[in-house]
């Protein structure tokens, strides 16, 4: 695991499991984290703005970026293209960590290029609760809702590639656990070894004969 640069935090879940809410609360608790803004070809929802939730682009523009090798990861999900630009890592260099909101395909691609990234999968407490949450969003047609619900099983089937599983039953407890994961990962020996070595180097300089 590299100690250079921000901690890379992959957060994935089936639609409706509460991933967006949890990551927003995580950033409130640890303001030094930044959010990677993905590109997508899907149309924006009424409350979304390009450059904030996503970079909304047309399919030909997205495909051109793919051809130029500009994405850290990309995938087609529910008939739309989603991708994380390599530029997001450059933008986040001074942050404590950068959060990637991606599906299991994106998580696999990021981990293949950056094995030091940590991957967290958010689970709903039950499929019944997941269906209830999807209906409560009221942003999908009935057909779209069913497609997302069916896709949830496929997403959950890939849980084994993630480093952490977090059940979003009680929101407050889920946020506490998410914060704990991030803090613990930042304290890993592999990320903090440089600080220890600097202290040892200072001690050797102060006591050259010791």
* 3 state SS for 33-89: EEECCEEECCCCCCCCCECCCEEECCHHHHHHHHHCCCEEEEEEECCEEEEEECHHH
- At 54-78, the pLDDT tens digits run 999 999 999 999 999 999 999 888 7
Whole-model pTM?
Answer: 0.81
Burial class (CB in 10 A: 0-12, 13-18, 19+), 195: exposed
pLDDT at 20 over 50: yes
Q: Which domains does the chain have, with CATH numbers?
A: 7-36+92-206 (3.40.50.300)
| Per-residue pLDDT, 2 | 47
pLDDT of residue 163: 97
pLDDT at position 140 = 64
Q: Which two tokens stand for residue 171?
A: 């929101």
Which of the residue ranges 9-18, 108-117, 134-143, 185-194 would you say has the lowest mean pLDDT?
134-143
Residue tagged 């739309």 (tokens): 80
Q: Identify the H or E element spanning 58.
A: none
Determine contact, residues 88/36, Cβ cutoff 8 Å: yes
For residue 105, give the nearest of 38, 168, 177 by alpha carbon. 38
How many angstroms separate the most distant Cα atoms in the chain? 76
Could you tell me the CA-to-CA distances from 168 to 76, 112, 141, 183 in Å, in that order?
Answer: 26, 27, 25, 19
Reference 182, options 22, 17, 3, 7; nearest CA is 7
pLDDT in tens, 80-125: 999 999 988 888 888 899 999 888 999 999 999 899 999 999 999 8
The DSSP 8-state label assigned to residue 78 in this structure reads: T
pLDDT value, residue 207: 81
- Going by C-alpha positions, the residue among 156, 162, 80, 87 that lies closest to residue 125 is 156
| Rounded Cα–Cα distance for residues 195 and 88 (Å) | 26
Output the pLDDT for position 50.
92
Residue 36: Cβ-neighbour burial (10 angstroms; 0-12, 13-18, 19+)? buried
């Amino acid at each position: 695991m590299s100690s250079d640069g921000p901690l890379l935090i992959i957060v994935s879940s089936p639609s409706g499991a509460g991933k967006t809410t949890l990551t927003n609360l995580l950033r409130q608790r640890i303001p030094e984290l930044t959010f990677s803004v993905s590109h997508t070809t899907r149309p924006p929802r009424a409350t979304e703005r390009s450059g904030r939730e996503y970079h909304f682009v047309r399919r030909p523009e997205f495909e051109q970026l793919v051809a130029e090798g500009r994405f850290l990861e990309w995938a087609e999900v529910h008939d739309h293209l989603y991708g994380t630009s390599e530029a997001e890592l450059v933008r986040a260099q001074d942050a404590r960590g950068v959060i990637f909101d991606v599906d299991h395909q994106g998580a696999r691609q990021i981990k293949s290029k950056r094995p030091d990234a940590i991957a967290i999968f958010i689970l709903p407490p039950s499929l019944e609760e997941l269906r209830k949450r999807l209906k409560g969003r009221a942003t999908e047609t009935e057909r779209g809702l069913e497609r997302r619900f069916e896709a949830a099983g496929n997403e959950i089937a890939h849980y084994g590639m993630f480093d952490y599983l977090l059940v979003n039953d009680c929101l407050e407890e889920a946020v506490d656990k998410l914060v704990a994961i991030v803090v613990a990962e930042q304290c890993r020996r592999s990320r903090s070894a440089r600080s220890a070595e600097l202290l040892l180097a200072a001690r050797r300089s102060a006591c050259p004969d010791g």
